[in-house]
């Protein structure tokens, strides 16, 4: 097991380096730059600015300097767009926000999705099943960019119960709508995956054996059926978790949370190279880390899997 973890971490390092180099090159290949504007800067001014940010150096040197700064000092550089902030500060400010609403959405999505799917499978072809499937399909077809403004219209404009946006230090009234809007489609996917996987498990021989042995239904379901049926759910949860905690541009835009998703997309539009790189590296790192966690979870869930 330990060998496996060390091997995976060993692979992660070159993977991250390839990610950094590719992103760096792709980003610089995009037309325009951070200081391209509809009011083109006079050559002298542009030269002064490029010199300040080191953009006057050849690309390979810029890349080496960048990677060196990241590796040795964990310094992602200054933002080209928000001139009084560094990338580290932007991430330090935006990531906790995204992490909070993302993590809550994750809890909500699995907390509702797994039981919903499981109940639907257990009570297959009853009204409970139809209702659960109906709810999850309904949630799936309502994307967050439709859900978010709908929630705001109902809970802010009509009922006046919740603030229409902002973060308010992350207090609960600011969290409800972002969490619901972000988690519903994940919740729906989890419910559907759980249901189909559970149905499959319930039809296996060992469950039939368990039933024949006269085990109580509760034990069969919780001890023998649920755990194996979660395997496909877990493969889904890894990337879903990273997606949730690294932010959603839709949530950030509709609810003005100040989260990282908006910075990610906006930095690409603004050619804010350093912010884009910083967030790409963070998302890449989390993705690699969580796929390792998921792989380790497999071994726990399914004794057949050994590393």
Partner 1 sequence: MKKELQMRYFAKSLAGGVLLAATLASTTVLAAGTHPTTGEALADDQTFTYSMLDEHSSIDPQIVEDVSGSELVRDLFEGLMNQDADGNLVPGVATGFTTNEAKDVYTFTLRKDARWSDGKRVTAGDFVYAWRRLADPATASPYSWFADIMSLEGVGDVMSGDADPSTLGVSAIDNHTLEVRLTASLPYFALMTTHASTFPSPQWAIEEHGDDWTKVGNIVSNGAYVLTEHIPNERSVRERNTAYWDNDATILDKVVALIINDENTDLTRYLAGELDKGTVPSGQYLRLKAEYPNQATSFPRLCTYYYSFNVSESGQEALKDIRVRQALSYAVDRSVITDKILQAGQTQAFTFTPGATAGFDVPEVDFGVMTQAERNAKAKELLADAGYGADNPLSIDLLYNTSESHKKIAIAISQMWKETLGVTATLANIEWKTFLQVRGKQDFDVARGGWCGDYNEASTFLDLLTTKSGYNDGKYSNAEVDALMAEAKTLSDTKANYTRVEEILATEMPVIPIYHYAGVFMLKENLKGWPYGNVEQNWYSRNLYKIAD
Contacts with partner 1 by CB under 8 A lie at: 30-33, 35-42, 44-45, 48-49, 51-53, 78, 81-85, 90, 93-94, 149, 152-153, 156-157, 160, 163-167, 252-259, 262-263, 266, 269-271
Distance CA 245, CA 258 (A): 14
CB of 24 vs partner 1, minimal distance in Å: 17
Give the pair of three-digit tokens for residue 284: 């890449």
Q: b or e along 121-137 (b: 16 or more beta carbons within 10 Å of the residue's beta carbon)?
A: bbeeeeeebeebbebbe
Cβ proximity to partner 1, 162 vs 296, nearer residue: 162
Return d(Cα 271, Cα 259) in angstroms, integer.
19
Residue closer to partner 1 (CB basis): 94 or 278: 94
How would DSSP label each residue in 132-182?
Answer: HHHHHHHHHHS-HHHHHHHHIIIIIIIS--S-SS--GGG-HHHHHHHHHHH
CB of 271 to partner 1, least distance (A): 6
Question: What's the distance, CA 225 to chain centroid?
Answer: 28
Which candidate, 233, 228, 242, places its Cα nearest to that of 286?
242
Minimum gap (Å) between residue 152 Cβ and partner 1: 5
Nearer to partner 1, 7 or 52 (CB): 52
For residue 173, the minimal CB distance to partner 1 (Å) is 13
Nearer residue to partner 1 within complex by CB, 81 or 224: 81
Q: Which is nearer to partner 1, 183 or 270 (CB)?
A: 270
Q: What is the DSSP letter of 35?
A: T
Report the nearest approach of partner 1 to the CB of residue 140 (Å): 23
């Amino acid at each position: 097991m330990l060998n496996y973890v060390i091997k995976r971490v060993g692979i992660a390092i070159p993977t991250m380096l390839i990610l950094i180099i590719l992103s760096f090159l792709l980003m610089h290949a995009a037309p325009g730059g951070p200081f391209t504007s509809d009011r083109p800067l006079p050559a002298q001014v542009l030269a002064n600015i490029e010199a300040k940010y080191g953009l006057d150096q050849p690309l390979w040197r810029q890349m080496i300097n960048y990677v060196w700064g990241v590796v040795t000092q964990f310094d992602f550089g200054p933002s080209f767009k928000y001139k009084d902030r560094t990338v580290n500060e932007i991430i330090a400010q935006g990531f906790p926000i995204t992490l909070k609403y993302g993590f809550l959405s994750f809890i909500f999505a699995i907390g509702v999705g797994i039981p919903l799917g499981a109940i639907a499978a257990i009570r297959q072809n009853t009204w409970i099943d139809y209702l659960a499937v109906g709810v999850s399909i309904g949630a799936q077809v309502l994307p967050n960019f439709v859900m978010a403004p709908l929630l705001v219209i109902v809970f802010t404009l009509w009922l006046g119960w919740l603030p229409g946006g902002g973060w308010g230090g992350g207090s609960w009234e600011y969290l409800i709508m972002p969490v619901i809007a972000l988690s519903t489609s994940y919740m729906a996917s989890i419910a559907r995956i759980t249901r189909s996987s559970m149905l499959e498990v319930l039809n296996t021989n060992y469950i039939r054996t368990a039933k024949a042995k006269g085990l109580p239904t509760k034990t069969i379901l919780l001890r023998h059926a649920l755990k194996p049926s979660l395997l496909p759910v877990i493969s889904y949860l890894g990337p879903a978790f990273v997606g949730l905690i690294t932010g959603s541009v839709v949530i950030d835009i509709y609810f003005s949370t100040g989260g990282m998703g908006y910075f990610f997309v906006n930095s690409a539009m603004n050619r804010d190279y350093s912010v884009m790189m910083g967030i790409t590296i963070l998302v890449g790192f989390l993705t690699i880390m969580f796929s390792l966690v998921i792989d380790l979870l497999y071994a726990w869930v399914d004794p057949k899997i050994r590393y």
